[in-house]
Structure formats: C-alpha cells, structure tokens
Structure 1
Amino acid sequence: MTGHFYQDPRLAYTPKPSKPFLFLCPLCLPQPPTATMPRLHHKNKQDYQKEKLIMLSELSQIVFENDGSLRDIFVLNTSEQDWQIMLNFLRQSSYPFEFTIDGTPQELPDSVKTIFDLRQEHSTQLCIDRQELVINSFFFTEEEIDFDIHPRDINTGDKVERLLEFMRTISKLLNKEIILTPQMSETNPWYRFNPVTENEIWYLCEVI
C-alpha cells in the first residue's frame, strides 16, 4: 500500500484518555515519502472541536465525493447471532429505522432468521437513520453484516462523525472490526475500526 501512517492531530488535545487514531496521509502519494500533513496543536477543547470539524469536512469531500457509486460498510465473519444482536440493539437505540418487504413497510420481525427465510422469495430492506445518513441493509448473507450508503447523504463533517459513531457502536457491540469500502470492494477498505484497540485507520491514499 502506498503512503504512510501519521497520528491524527486530535491527539494533541485529548478531552479524555483515548487510544491512537491513525490514518494515511492524503498528501503523501504525489510527494516524497517523508511528506506529512501538518500537525495541529490544540490548546483547549474549543480548538479541538474546531479542528475536528475541519478534518471531518475534508473527509466528506474526499471519501464521500458523489461519483455515482455507493459506499459499503462491512462487519465480516459474522453469524446469525451477530445479526440478531444488532437488530435487538436497534430496537432499543435512538436510531430510527424502517423495515420493508417488497417495498412495503412492515414491522421488523423478532427473529433475524425470519428475515433470511423471507428473503428466499421476497426483497427485504432495513433502512436506518433515513433523515440523516440513509444506511441500508438487504440481508444478503449471514456471514457478513453489510450496509450501503450514498455519498450524497454524507455531505458534511457532522454527518461523517455521525456515520463513524454508528460504525464504532456496531463494532463495539459485536466486538468485531468494521470497515468502510468502495462499492462491492470489501478487500479494499478506506477506513477500519478495531473495537479491541479502539484504533481507527484511514487508508486515504487508496482514495486519491
């Protein structure tokens, strides 16, 4: 992989103890290998929040450029039990969701097995957070939990942070890594979160 890691400047100010947040420098591809993005030094929480918003806004333009393709989110190596845990969480969470069968809104079944059985003859879709992120899942297989999002819906730094918070929450819930990828490209992640180390990695040189 081209590029190099550098530590997120947010760590210059840490509002609470945290694990490292690392990502690949988006400037290093066209520049010498030693090039790095400027490190920012935050003196207080206000500066931290300001620079964080700037960084997330830049990510919305780079990773979520509206190029006509979707972005995929994967939790790999899952089971029916993992799907069930996630659905149980959604019922109790503040995330709004809508479940449809063949395009018609229906009550979300208690058991995910029912959904996979339905999918043998029907189209099933779960839409999460329609007013903000529009995260869709179609229950393709038990072996991975997958969502898709349209980049046009992730068009601000606030929405990037909301999406990342959703991904981190699901990852910690299942204690499994979660990745963000180009459409149908689970082997080419742009972002990865590890729930054990709480490290986040951006592979931005793969995007540019």
Structure 2
Amino acid sequence: MNWEILRKKIYYIDGSLRDIYVKDTSMGDWEKWIDLINTKYEVKFYNVLSGEIESRINKSIVFDYWNGKTDLLNNVTIYLGNILVKCHFFGGNEIENDITPTEINSIEDHNRLVDYLKDISTCLGKEVMLTPENYSEEDKKLIIVNENGIELDFSDHPIGGKY
C-alpha cells in the first residue's frame, strides 16, 4: 500500500471531514457497537445530563434521547492513537462517525483506522464504509469493509478536492 496514493485519493486535505457509516442499523446494532467501543477503545463520552466527561458510553442516556425522553444530544470521542473518531448519536437507523483526514498521516494511521472499521463490521456483520463528508447514495465510497474484506476506491474524487 502506497501512503502517497492513500493521502491523495482517500485522505485528501480539502477542509472536509470523512464519514464512517453503517447503514440500516437497529437498536440492537447500536447496543453491540457501544459494547465494542466501551470494551476495546479509549473513549471520552460527554454526558449532557451531568456535564461530565466519562470513560464509557452510557447506553441508557443515548437511548433516552432516541426515545424522546430527553432532547439533549450526547457525543463521544473514540481514540485510535492520534486519530479522533467522533460520534454524535444523531439517529438509530445508521451509525455515523466522523474523522478529520489531517489526523491520518501515515500508513500506520491508515491501518489503525481500517482495523477499527473491521472491528465494527465483524461485530455487526454489516458493511462499514468511509465516505466523503455528507455522503449520499450518488457519492463514492472511499473504503468499504465487509468483515475482513476491504475495498479501496482510488478514482478521482468527484468534487475535485485539492490534493
């Protein structure tokens, strides 16, 4: 794997984020994802009820938001070394995380991110994809992970971002 190609085609710097998606998720999928993250990764969960930063995602607070018991949105930062993965728990039907491509600076960082994507895919038995920010079905998928199968799209970015 060539780092320069990865930087140019996947982790290009144009001021936008990259999104990580798992589509068509259920509350059961979210529960599995939260358990995986709490077990395997360092996290900082912002508990809006207490105003405190916690070292584990509080499932009941997240689910209370989705069930309309509170209108306060929580978020979590997941640490993959120097890569910060953000999740804001917008809705239950898809898992969405954000990363900043400026934090991916080596083949080791890329591998660390791909390992995270593989962990999620294996845990949920679902496709996980890395896309340009604000993905729609017409956009390309930069990386697709199906458990241990990995596809990378090295074609030019459709909006012509600066490389």
Deviations 1:48-87 (Å, cap 9, x if unpaired)?
xxxx4xx245313431122100000000110111010011
Shift of 1:117: 4.6
Is residue 102 of structure 2 the alignment partner of residue 155 of structure 1?
Answer: no
Q: Secondary structure at the match of 2:83?
A: coil
Shift of 1:171: 0.5
Is residue 120 of structure 2 the alignment partner of residue 174 of structure 1?
Answer: no
Larger radius of gyration: 1
Shift of 1:119: 8.6
Q: Secondary structure at the match of 2:19?
A: strand
Amino acid at match of 2:88: F
Is residue 5 of structure 2 the alignment partner of residue 68 of structure 1?
Answer: no
Q: 1:109 aligns with which of 58, 70, 83?
A: 58
Unaligned runs of 5+ in 1: 1-51
Aligned position for 1:136: 86
In the superposition, the TM-score normalised over structure 2's length comes to 0.82
Q: 2:144 aligns with which of 180, 192, 197?
A: 192
Deviations 1:150-177 (Å, cap 9, x if unpaired)?
1111121110110011001101110000
Tell me, in whole angstroms, the C-alpha distance in 1 between the residues paired with 2:97 and 2:149.
21
Tell me, in whole angstroms, the C-alpha distance in 2 between the residues paired with 1:117 and 1:130.
30
Judging by fraction of residues, say which structure has more strand. 2
Give the aligned CA root-mean-square deviation in angstroms. 2.3
Number of equivalences: 152
Tell me, in whole angstroms, the C-alpha distance in 1 between the residues paired with 2:52 and 2:7.
32
Are residues 130 and 166 of structure 1, via their aligned partners in 2, closer, same or farther at CA, if it must alter by over 3 Å?
closer
Unaligned runs of 5+ in 2: none
Shift of 1:90: 1.7
In the superposition, the TM-score normalised over structure 1's length comes to 0.65
Are residues 157 and 186 of structure 1, via their aligned partners in 2, closer, same or farther at CA, if it must alter by over 3 Å?
farther
Tell me, in whole angstroms, the C-alpha distance in 1 between the residues paired with 2:28 and 2:36.
12
Percent identity over the alignment is 26
